[in-house]
């Protein structure tokens, strides 16, 4: 970026500086008077003069830095900036750093990524607890903005295998745009977190995290009481969770398609359905998006959420009494937030000596499995727990193991085998088993393995069913045959993971959604809660009246049925819908909608479309007799067309196919008499 062209000049003598200057005196370098050298400044404004004097001060400071700096890379940058400012003084211009590109250097920025992380991981929390996370995020970003990066030579010594050239480029940019402008006001200054992104953060995060935590431990006695818990308890966990997202290749927080919600924060939308060319941008204008029929506006949801103040409704961290309808893992989740329990994935290793703590935990896991699974030979349990190919998600409470799930991953086959799963008897019925499984699911989603297989005995089948396992195995038999251990008298069960679900917080999200719906119902009831006088027409001899003539009936949301008929015979409905679906699938414009959209063909599709639908899925639903009414069938078909128009631009062939196929569909529906013509 910057080239060291010439050695810095010798410092001028500063021991004989006069207090005042006579412009009529001759110049020491030439025969002119001093006044001849400043004639071009006679008409310069005072503001411009002050700016130039400020640059002079910065030049003198950089001159000192050049001669004091020992690191060659840093000295080179200082000298280049020194020459740049000196040139600005001579030409009375403004300093512009000659770089290969201008800020920002990477999108999304560190600041945006951290904000995305807060929304992605903590948006479900109550406002009070979420505010704590926001404070931690601000504190972390502030630390980065004033963090002193190690020089490229220091980094080469510490991590010789890292990308030295890439780090040197970012180090030079950081000096020019963030560090030097802190003490040279004439240079434009940028915040590190606003112009750099994941690359720079990844190169400094490990060292920075270690130093920050060490500093916090050393200064814990000087921290005010209200900050002590925040920094010593919450901040380390915040950094650990952020570290996973910084170095995870599949983390959504670094995607430029991380969508903006109506509240102004960043909200990831996990969804899915029609094809877009990879070169076409994803639209961000929420106002232009077509709204799905039945969707609740985000503005209304935010307004309702603001009225929910009961901490038990939102499962706040201070909830001490759990309701009878609490989720199974609620108590365990609260204990984890308070630091009572911890979860660690551990395993034995032949390459490096495991530390004493891990060995003690492995022994503890072997004891728990042996006591809780008496049918399993103890030697067999010991062999698998200490086998380097197996790992165990351990549940730690008060420093000792109270449960765990032993598993073996088969990445090439796309599944993981769960071998043992147990919680010690005196810690059961507390939701630990559910929370263990949820942690295991999130661990595997991060490692791109989305299928579990296990052999469950008659005592474990109930537990695995509650965790989403079933006897309907999604993994092809050829994939697991010969890999998974077969147990006599046990039942093979499988579980398919959805990467869009945050499993450890899923019950919280569901409870929050139920509370929002409840409030929306209460609002609707308040709007229509009106007492009408009784119907007196029947006393006068009237035998029958139209439903729509009943006072207040329309205000409840009731609508008169159209002329289209609802087929009551299930077989007749099935036959009619099957015929319509066959007509649609055989149409020449149906080709884009035949199967679910593949992620490789439409990048970012499942982050834009919330409810994907396709003709193959509709065929499967029809076959399973899912469509008990015509409305369900029509809603799914309409969603195909709506999704396509929402994702693709109007000039695309997919958009045009959706419009043409929609006309065909409604023609067939009318012909079948399901809606009025």
Tell the residue number behind the tokens 């009494």, with chain if given: 321
Q: What is the DSSP string of 6-29?
A: SPPPPPPP-S---SS--TTSBPSS
Q: Do 441 and 503 form a contact (C-beta atoms < 8 A)?
A: yes
d(CA 643, CA 511): 28
CB neighbours of residue 230 within 10 Å: 16
d(CA 341, CA 596): 41
Q: Which residue has the tokens 């290749």?
A: 249
Name the pairing type of β-strands 415-423 and 451-456: parallel
> For tokens 């942690």, what's the residue?
439
Asked if 203 contacts 151 with a C-beta cutoff of 8 angstroms, the reply is no
For the CA atoms of 180, 181, 183, 185, the dihedral, rounded to the nearest 10 degrees, stands at: 150
- Contact yes or no for 610/654 (Cβ under 8 A): no
For residues 60 and 481, what is the distance between their CA atoms, to the nearest angstrom?
Answer: 75
Q: Which of 417, 442, 646, 662 is an active site residue?
A: 417
The whole-angstrom separation of Cα 158 and Cα 629 is 67
Judged by DSSP in three states, 510 sits in helix
Dist. CA 320–CA 269, nearest whole Å: 32
Helices and strands of the chain, counted as H and E runs: 22, 6
Q: Among 445, 447, 449, 373, which residue's Cα sits nearest to residue 404?
A: 373
Residue 80, token pair as written in the block: 């280049």
Q: Kindly report the length of the chain.
A: 677
Where are the alpha helices (H) located in 146-177, listed in sequence order?
152-158, 164-174
> How far, in Å, CA of 257 to CA of 603, rounded?
10
Q: Write down the residue that tokens 């945050």 correspond to.
A: 502
Q: Reply yes or no on whether 417 is catalytic.
A: yes
Cβ atoms within 10 Å, residue 385? 26
Distance CA 502, CA 537 (A): 57
Pairing of strands 400-410, 415-423: antiparallel
User: Strand order in 415-423's β-sheet?
Assistant: 341-346, 391-397, 400-410, 415-423, 451-456, 491-496
Q: Check if the beta carbon of residue 544 is closer than 8 Å to that of residue 532.
A: no
CA 278 – CA 102 distance, rounded (Å) = 26
DSSP string, 546-576: -GGGSTTTGGGT-----SSPPP--HHHHHHH
Q: Which residues pair with 21 in a beta bridge?
A: none
Q: Distance from CA of residue 36 to its chain's centroid?
A: 64
- Active site amino acids: 417
């Amino acid at each position: 970026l910057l080239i060291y062209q010439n050695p810095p000049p010798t410092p001028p003598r500063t021991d004989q500086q006069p207090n005042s200057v006579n412009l009529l005196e001759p110049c020491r370098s030439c025969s002119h008077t001093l006044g001849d050298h400043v004639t071009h400044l006679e008409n310069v404004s005072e503001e411009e003069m002050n700016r130039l004097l400020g640059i002079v001060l910065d030049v003198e400071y950089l001159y000192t830095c050049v001669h004091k700096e020992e690191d060659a890379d840093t000295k080179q940058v200082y000298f280049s900036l020194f020459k740049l400012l000196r040139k600005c003084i001579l030409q009375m211009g403004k300093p512009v750093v000659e770089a290969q590109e201008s800020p920002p250097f990477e999108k999304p920025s560190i600041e945006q990524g951290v904000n995305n992380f807060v929304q992605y991981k903590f948006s479900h929390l109550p406002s009070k607890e979420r505010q704590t996370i926001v404070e931690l995020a601000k504190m972390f970003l502030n630390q980065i903005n004033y963090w002193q990066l190690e020089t490229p030579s220091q980094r080469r010594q510490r991590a010789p295998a890292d990308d030295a050239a890439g780090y040197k480029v970012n180090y030079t940019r950081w000096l020019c745009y963030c560090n030097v402008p802190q003490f040279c006001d004439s240079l434009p200054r940028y915040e590190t977190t606003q112009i750099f992104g994941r690359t720079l953060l990844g190169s400094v995060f490990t060292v920075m995290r270690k130093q920050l935590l060490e500093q916090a431990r050393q200064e814990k006695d000087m921290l005010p009481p209200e900050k002590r818990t925040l920094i010593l308890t919450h901040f380390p966990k915040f950094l650990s969770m952020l570290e996973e997202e910084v170095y995870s290749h599949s983390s959504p927080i670094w995607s430029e398609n991380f969508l903006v919600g109506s509240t102004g924060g960043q909200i990831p939308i996990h969804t899915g359905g029609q094809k877009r060319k990879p070169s076409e941008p994803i639209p961000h204008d929420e106002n232009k998006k077509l709204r799905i029929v039945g969707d609740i506006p985000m503005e209304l949801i935010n307004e309702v959420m603001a009225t929910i103040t009961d901490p038990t409704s939102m499962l706040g961290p201070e909830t001490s009494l759990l309701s009878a309808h609490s989720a199974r893992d609620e108590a365990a989740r609260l204990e984890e937030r308070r630091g009572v329990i911890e979860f660690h994935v551990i395993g034995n290793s032949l390459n490096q000596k495991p530390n004493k703590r891990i060995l003690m935990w492995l022994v503890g896991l072997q004891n728990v499995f042996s006591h809780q699974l008496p049918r399993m030979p103890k030697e067999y349990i010991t062999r698998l727990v200490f086998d380097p190919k197996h790992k165990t998600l351990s549940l730690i409470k008060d420093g000792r193991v109270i449960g765990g799930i032993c598993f073996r991953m088969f990445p090439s086959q796309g599944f993981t085998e769960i071998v043992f799963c147990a919680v010690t008897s005196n810690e059961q019925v507390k939701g630990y088993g559910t929370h263990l499984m949820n942690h295991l699911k999130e661990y595997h989603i991060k490692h791109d393995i989305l299928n579990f297989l296990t052999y469950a005995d008659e005592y474990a089948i109930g537990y695995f069913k509650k965790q989403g396992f079933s006897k309907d195995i999604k993994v092809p038999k050829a994939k697991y045959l010969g890999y998974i251990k077969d147990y006599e008298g046990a039942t093979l069960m499988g579980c398919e993971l959805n990467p869009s679900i945050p499993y450890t917080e899923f019950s919280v999200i569901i409870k929050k959604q139920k509370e929002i719906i409840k409030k929306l119902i209460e609002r609707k009831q308040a709007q229509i809660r009106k007492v009408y006088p009784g119907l007196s027409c029947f006393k006068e001899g009237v035998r029958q009246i139209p439903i729509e003539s009943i006072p207040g009936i329309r205000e409840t949301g009731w609508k008169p049925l159209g002329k289209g008929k609802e087929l009551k015979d299930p077989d007749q409905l099935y036959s009619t819908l099957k015929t319509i679906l066959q007509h649609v699938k055989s149409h020449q414009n149906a080709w884009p909608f035949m199967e679910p959209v593949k992620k490789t063909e439409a990048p970012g599709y499942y982050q834009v479309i919330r409810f994907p639908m396709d003709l193959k899925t509709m065929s499967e639903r029809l076959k399973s007799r899912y469509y008990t009414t015509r409305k369900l069938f029509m809603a799914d078909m309409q969603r195909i067309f709506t999704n396509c128009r929402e994702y693709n631009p109007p000039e695309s062939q997919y958009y045009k196919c959706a419009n043409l196929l929609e006309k065909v569909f409604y023609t067939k529906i009318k012909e079948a008499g399901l809606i009025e013509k």
